[in-house]
Amino acid sequence: MNPTIKTLLAAASLTLVAALPALARERNRMPVADGPTAMARARVAADVLMSSYEPEKAWFPSSWWNSAVALQTIGDYMQRTGDRRYLAQLDNTFEKDKGVFPAGVLSGDPLLGNFTSRAIDDSEWWGLTWLQAYDLTRNPKYLDMAVTIANYVYGYWDPGTCGGGVWWNAERTYKNAITNGLWIRLTAELHNRIPGDTLWLDRSRTAWAWFQGSGMINADGLVNDGLTDACTNNGQNVWTYNQGLAIGAGLELWRATRDPKILSTVRRLADAAVGPNALVTDDGTLKETCDATDQSCDDNAKQFKGIFMRYWTDLVDTTHDRGYATFLARQADAVWNDDRDAANRLGTRWTGATSEGHPNVFDWRTQASALSALIGDVPTLTPLASLAATLSPAQPVVMPSASGVTTIPLDLGVSATGYFPLIALASVDAPAGWKATPRATLVTLQPHGNANPVDRSVSLNITVPSAATDGHHPVDANLVAAGLRFTAQADVLVAHAIDFDTGTVDENPWLFDPDGSQSNGVQNRFADGHAHFTYRFPFPVDTSAAHVTLTIDAEFLVEASSDNVHWTTVLKEDRPVTDGSNKADRSIDLTPFLGDGTGGSKPVYLRVSDAFPDDGWGGRVYHVTANITQ
C-alpha cells in the first residue's frame, strides 16, 4: 500500500476507535450483519426503491395499495435509521393524491377522496401509511387523515353477518383476514396516539375478539384467507401477510392493554408461522406459496412477505426473543446474499431461486418487500456511523472490437452517516488481465448525523482486453474506514452478440433507462402513456453496420439516438391497436446512428414509448436481436 494512504488511513482509524464499541450489535439481537453494515444495506436498498417513485403522480407506477405499502416501508426505514431524506415524497403523495380521482388514474376503482375507495383494505393501508408519517413528523394532518379513513372503514363493520367483522369491499361480498387484521392494527394505533381515547380502543378490542373466534385461524395456528358465505373458514391459502397482520394487530393491541393473553396468542401465531410445513423453506427462509419455481407471484403477492417482516420486526422489538431475532436476521442475510443483483435490486424469491419459465422477478414491489427484512435487521439503537457504496452503471456491457481494448467508466458512489469524519480506503478488484484506474483511492467524508447521509463520487475506468471471454465478470469496490466495511459490485457483461427476451435478467444489462415502463413476466416490457424505456447497445469500435430486430406490438413509437439526447423516429404504429394483432418482427437500420468510436465503442440508444399516450396501450417489446458487421 502507498505510504501516504497508510498514514491517512491510520489517522482516520484513531479518530473513530473510541466510538467503535457503540457500534456493536444490539443486546438480544443476533444479526448476520453488524449494525453499521445492516444500516448501510438498508440505505442502499431504500434508495433503489425510491428511484421508482413518480413525483408527478406521487406514487409508484400502476399500483394503488402497493404504493401505500411501499411508502410505509420507506417510513419504516426513516424511523429505524434516522434518515429523513424522503419526508418530502411522503408529503407530496399526501397533498397530491388525497382528492377524488376517476377509475384508471391511480386505481382501477374510483377514488372517493381522503384515500378511500370501494376497496376497504386499500383504504386501511393508506390509514397505516399516514400514521407512520405522523410518527415521523408529528404533523397532525396525517393523524387526522388516518382518523377520517378509519371512520370510513367503520361504516363497513357489520355484526349482522358472521357476528362482526369489516367487509372487504363496498359491495359487502366477503369478510377476510387482511381487512380485519388491518382494522385491528389501525384502531389500536389510533388509540395509542390519541390521548384519552376509549372509542378506538373499544373497537380494536371488539375486532380482536371477533377475529379470534371467527374461525379464520386454523387448528395449526395459521391464518387462512377468509370466511365462506356460511361464516366458516374457507380453507384458502395461508398468505404471509395475513399471518403477519394477525401478529402485528395483536402486538399493537397488547401495547394498548398489556393483556398477557393477547401476547400469548401473538406468540402462538408467530411460532406457527415458522413451524414445520408452514411459511418457510427447508433452510428457514420465508416463502410464499407462489414462490415455487413453477409459479409466479402476481403484483399483489410480491409484497406479502415484506408486510410479514414489518410485523415480525415489531415482534422482535417487543419480546426481545432471541429465536425470533435469529429468524429475522436469517431473512436479511438471505435477501442480501442470495436475492440481490449487482444493481442492488431485490427479487421476489428470497432464496434467489429461478427457472426459465418462471424467473425470479425484480421490480419496485419486490424491492419494497425485501427491504422490510433489511430494515428489521438494523438495531433499534441506531449505529453511530455507517458506510455504504454503489457502482454505476451496475451492469455495464462491453462489446469488444476485433483487436485492442475497451475502457468503460464507472462511478463509485460512497455515502456515510454518523458524527465523526471518515477517511475510507477504496480498493478495486477486477478480473485477471483487466485494469482498474485508480486501483486504490482515499475518500474523505464529513457526515453530520443520520438525517442526511453525505455522498462522494469517485470516477473509475475499467480496461477490458479484447480477449475477454463472453459472460458476466464481477468488479468489486471494497471500502474500509475505521472498522467499517462495505463492498459494492458491478457485473460487467462481455458480449459479442445481442439476443435477449424482455422481462428477464438477460435484458437488464441492455436496459439503460426503464423510466416508467413495466414488465409482467418473460417476453414482456411495455411503456404506456408518457413512460418509455431505452436500450443502449455499445457496438464495437470497428462496427461498420448494425441492424436491430424487435418483436413488438401495440401502439409503439421507436426512436434512435447516438447520444441519448437527439432522437430520430425509426418506427411508429399509426393505428390505435390494442389487441396485439400487429405483433411482428421489425428490423431497424442503426448504421446512421453509429458514432465515430472516440469513446472506445459506438453506442446507439433505442427508445420505445407510446404513439397514443392517452389510451394506455404503449409499445410492447418481446424479443431483441441485432446483427453487426465489423
The pLDDT score that the predictor gives to residue 3 is 46
Q: How far apart are CA 351 and CA 353, in angstroms?
A: 5
Please give the average per-residue pLDDT across 333-347, as a whole number: 97
The pLDDT score that the predictor gives to residue 23 is 32
The pLDDT score that the predictor gives to residue 600 is 79
Considering only residues 405 and 242, tell me which one the structure prediction assigns the higher pLDDT: 242
Please give the average per-residue pLDDT across 62-66, as a whole number: 93
First to last CA, the chain: 42
Q: Residue 14: pLDDT above 60?
A: no
The pLDDT score that the predictor gives to residue 4 is 42
Q: How far apart are CA 495 and CA 395, in angstroms?
A: 12
Q: Residue 487: pLDDT above 90?
A: yes
pLDDT tens, 569-615?
999 999 999 999 999 999 999 999 998 888 778 999 999 999 999 88
Phi, psi at 601, each rounded to 5°: -155, 175
The pLDDT score that the predictor gives to residue 518 is 86
Give the model's confidence band at 404: pLDDT under 50 very low, under 70 low, under 90 confident, else very high.
confident
Strand positions, DSSP E, 393-448: 397-398, 405-418, 422-429, 435-437, 440-445
Please give the average per-residue pLDDT across 552-578, as a whole number: 97
Q: Residue 549: pLDDT above 80?
A: yes
Provide the whole-model pTM.
Answer: 0.91
The pLDDT score that the predictor gives to residue 211 is 98
Name the average pLDDT for the chain: 93
The pLDDT score that the predictor gives to residue 200 is 98
pLDDT tens, 418-448?
999 999 999 999 999 999 999 999 999 999 9
The pLDDT score that the predictor gives to residue 597 is 81
Please give the average per-residue pLDDT across 212-237, as a whole number: 98
pLDDT tens, 183-219?
999 999 999 999 999 999 999 999 999 999 999 999 9
Q: How far apart are CA 224 and CA 394, in angstroms?
A: 41
What domains, with CATH codes, occur in the chain?
Answer: 386-494 (2.60.40.2310), 498-629 (2.60.120.260)
The pLDDT score that the predictor gives to residue 418 is 96
Give the model's confidence band at 402: pLDDT under 50 very low, under 70 low, under 90 confident, else very high.
confident
pLDDT tens, 357-380?
899 999 999 999 999 999 999 999
Strands 484-494 and 397-398: parallel
Q: List the strands of the sheet with 440-445, edge to edge.
A: 397-398, 484-494, 471-481, 422-429, 440-445
Percentage of the chain exceeding pLDDT 70: 95
Please give the average per-residue pLDDT across 163-181, as a whole number: 98
Q: Residue 15: pLDDT above 50?
A: no
Phi, psi at 331, each rounded to 5°: -70, -45
Q: Residue 29: pLDDT above 70?
A: no
Q: How far apart are CA 583 and CA 280, in angstroms?
A: 41
